[in-house]
Amino acid sequence: MGDILLIKLFILLFLLLAVPSAWSNTDKIASHPVWLKLLHYKIEPNIKSTRMSNKTFFLDKNGPTDPMSELDQTVKMIKNPELSKKLFNAPLECIYPARVYWLTKNYGKLFNLKNFSIEHCLELNLFYKDIAAKAISYVYIGPFMSNAASIMGHSILMLKKPGRSTIVNYAMSYSARLPKDVDPLTYITKGLLGGFGGIIKVEPFYHKIVEYRKIENRNMWEFELNLSEEEVQLITYHLWELKRGDFFKYYFFDENCAYLLVALIDMARPELNLIDQLSMMVLPNKIPELLSNNNLIKKQTYYPSYKEKLLFSYDQMSKNEKKFYIKNKDNLDLDTSLVSSPKLIDTFLNHLNHYSIHDEGKLKGKKKKLFDTLVMNKISLGSPPSKKVTKPKSPIESHDLIYAGIYAGIQNEGLDQKARENYIDLSLRFFTHEFTESDIGYVSYSEIQALKTTVRFPENGKPIFQHIDVASFSQVPIEYPFDRMPAFKFDLDVTQRIYSDCDNCLGTKLDVAYGAARDLFDHKMSIYLMGRLSQSFSAFGDESYVYSLGPEVGFVSQLSDNIKLRFFYSPQISGKSRFNFHHTLLESTLKINIKSSIYFRFEDYNLFTAVIFRQKSARDIKLGYQYYF
């Protein structure tokens, strides 16, 4: 009897020493980065909760805040399919293939799990075999100025099968689920505060080409990711889990289209902690830089929009060919024998492709017949393949949206220049792009910025709030004879009043302008003329409201890859002559690298009239350094 007891104690001691406890292993699995990221947990000190707003994603009622309870319930349902069938009418691997695949592959022996298979999951198996992805690409889609939610671009994932044409691969996108008749105020408010649910779509990549490259005229960049087939498989399975419902709230500036794509990649490669590397605002055009910094980009490919292809082919033609095209571009009964040069044929083909947007991106009727005839003409000419659109610089090189700047300047007032004051300015720009910054990854010759705040430290005086650029939204687009877009400007500031008897009086200033732009020097410069209306308000001084009206003429120029220049002159006439002014601005930015630049600004009120008409002038000159982060 004693011998039997000793044997039992020996076996128990052996098990305790030689076999890790199930509890200890389960605890480690529940805190494993992949498990936490499959549940979209916030991995922060003292925070245990999911980012998901829809808690029906979880199997256990405590799952949203307790990864251990979710793990226990998952294992129970894997081992007992009847529990899953009661809840989902299907085995758990058919509903949550990613978590079941990961647990079976890595901890199948520990939990005594059967081999993983989805052959019996009809819908999932069809989805997986149809996609058949062995590689994944991050696709950045350029900005779209006509949609507030897309002015910073968009992003999707391309699920790639070897040997399959790009257009028939599949694309995964994440966007806000919008009501049909949402008003602008509700759209902006809910978009900023997470009032919309997020919807995941998986559809043929061709649909995205039609939507973005044809209809919205947006260029696309594909960045093929350096992921293993196993990591691609895990992402594909997790997509199936997420596309069942709206599990997240959608936020325009952080938890948006780009954020969820990064979260998927981060889940497959958890050691990189990509989510922790994201900035306060998540912009689609900055994700390629993040991927590049983590050695995740294998290859990049540029897909120009159909409009971009048309503009490029138009630029390749001679003057006579351009005249012929402008005259006949809308003639669907064109005598194709007159279209005799390869460059002219290319331009007409690109024109038909581009303007098929009115027929949902498809060529029909006479357009299709003309297109086919031109293609045959080109073949009969035996001409070489069309010249490819010049590839612009990659979005990897785009600047960050936030910068801090320090500037030294001189401010003069009066005709005698005696009222001169030296100062130091400190500025913080929160969002996102100015005229003189590099256009890489942004809309060319545009300005979209908000909440740029400047504090001034005068040489002899106390620090003051000098300027707050509340919002600025402007564009002076490159214009073609067949593609005319207006130049416009909206600028709302809170700034120190000019010509005020008060030394430290803030007032609001609103500038609205509308007009036309033309390009010079092979698109290196955009010149414009607009009508400008200005309104100023302040609670200080003898004039609360001041309105003025006048033209604004100027240009924005890309002098080199690293230098941009902006100039404008605007004579403004007010209802009261003493508030008339002539506004002149010259500013330039020299890009040092992706993180820093040198900025120069010369601004003057009444530069050309101060001496002639003895008007009071105000001049500000400053030079400084800007650091992006």
* Residue of 581 and 119 predicted with greater confidence: 119
356 pLDDT above the threshold of 80: no
**Residue 615: band (very low, low, confident or very high) from pLDDT cuts 50, 70, 90:** low
Q: Which domains does the chain have, with CATH numbers?
A: 2-120 (no CATH), 129-303 (no CATH), 319-381 (no CATH), 399-628 (2.40.160.40)
Distance CA 69, CA 61 (A): 8
pLDDT tens, position by position, 326-350: 999 889 999 988 988 899 999 999 9
Section 361-369 average pLDDT = 82
In order, the DSSP letters of 590-601 are EEEETTEEEEEE
pLDDT at 184: 81
What tokens appear for 468 in the block?
A: 């707050």
pLDDT of residue 361: 60
Contact 456, 463 (CB under 8 A): yes
Position 624 confidence tier, pLDDT thresholds 50, 70, 90: very high
* Chain Cα centroid distance, residue 194: 18
Q: Which of 209-213, 280-284, 391-395 has the weakest average pLDDT?
A: 209-213
Residue 502 region, left (φ>0) first, then alpha (ψ -120 to 50), else beta? Answer: beta
- pTM to 2 decimals? 0.86
- Least confident range of 135-149, 180-194, 486-500, 536-550: 536-550
Average pLDDT over residues 465-470: 88
Q: What is the dihedral of CA 113, 117, 123, 126, to 10 degrees?
A: 160
Instruction: Note the pLDDT of residue 22.
Output: 46
Residue 16 clears pLDDT 50, i.e. is over it: no
pLDDT at 180: 83
The encoded tokens of residue 487 equal 């130049």
> Looking at residue 522, what is its pLDDT?
79
Residue 23 burial by CB count (10 A; 0-12/13-18/19+): exposed, middle or buried? exposed
495 versus 17: which is more confidently predicted?
495
Residue 532 pLDDT exceeds 50: yes
With pLDDT > 70 as the criterion, what percentage of the chain qualifies? 88
**Segment 224-229 mean pLDDT:** 96
Confidence tier at 619 by pLDDT (50, 70, 90): confident
Cα–Cα distance, 261 to 244 (Å, whole number): 17
Say if residue 398's pLDDT is above 60. yes
Segment (H or E) for 490:
strand 487-496
Q: Does the pLDDT at position 367 exceed 60?
A: yes
Q: How confident is the model at residue 40 (pLDDT cuts 50, 70, 90)?
A: very high
pLDDT of residue 539: 52
Cβ(343)–Cβ(320) below 8 Å: no
Q: pLDDT class for 15, splitting at 50, 70, 90?
A: very low
Q: Would you state the structure tokens that stand for residue 495, as one six-digit string?
A: 């700034």
Distance CA 468, CA 456 (A): 12
Taking 80 as the threshold, does the pLDDT of residue 604 lie above it?
yes
pLDDT at 205: 92
pLDDT band at 24 (very low <50, low <70, confident <90, very high): low
Minimal CA–CA distance to 554: which of 595, 589, 603, 592? 603
pLDDT band at 394 (very low <50, low <70, confident <90, very high): very high
Lowest mean pLDDT among 292-301, 351-360, 410-419: 410-419
Using a CB cutoff of 8 Å and minimum separation of 24, what contacts does 321-324 make?
321/347, 322/481
Range 116-120 average pLDDT: 94
Tens digits of per-residue pLDDT, 44-82?
766 678 999 999 999 999 999 999 999 999 999 999 999
Residue 382: band (very low, low, confident or very high) from pLDDT cuts 50, 70, 90: confident
Q: Quick check: 154 and 174 in contact, CB under 8 A?
A: no
Q: What number of CA atoms fall less than 13 Å from residue 153's CA on the CB side?
A: 26
Between CA 134 and CA 128 the distance in angstroms is 11
Residues 408, 411, 416: CA angle, nearest 5 degrees: 140
Ranking 4-13, 170-179, 408-417, 427-436 by mean pLDDT, the lowest is 4-13
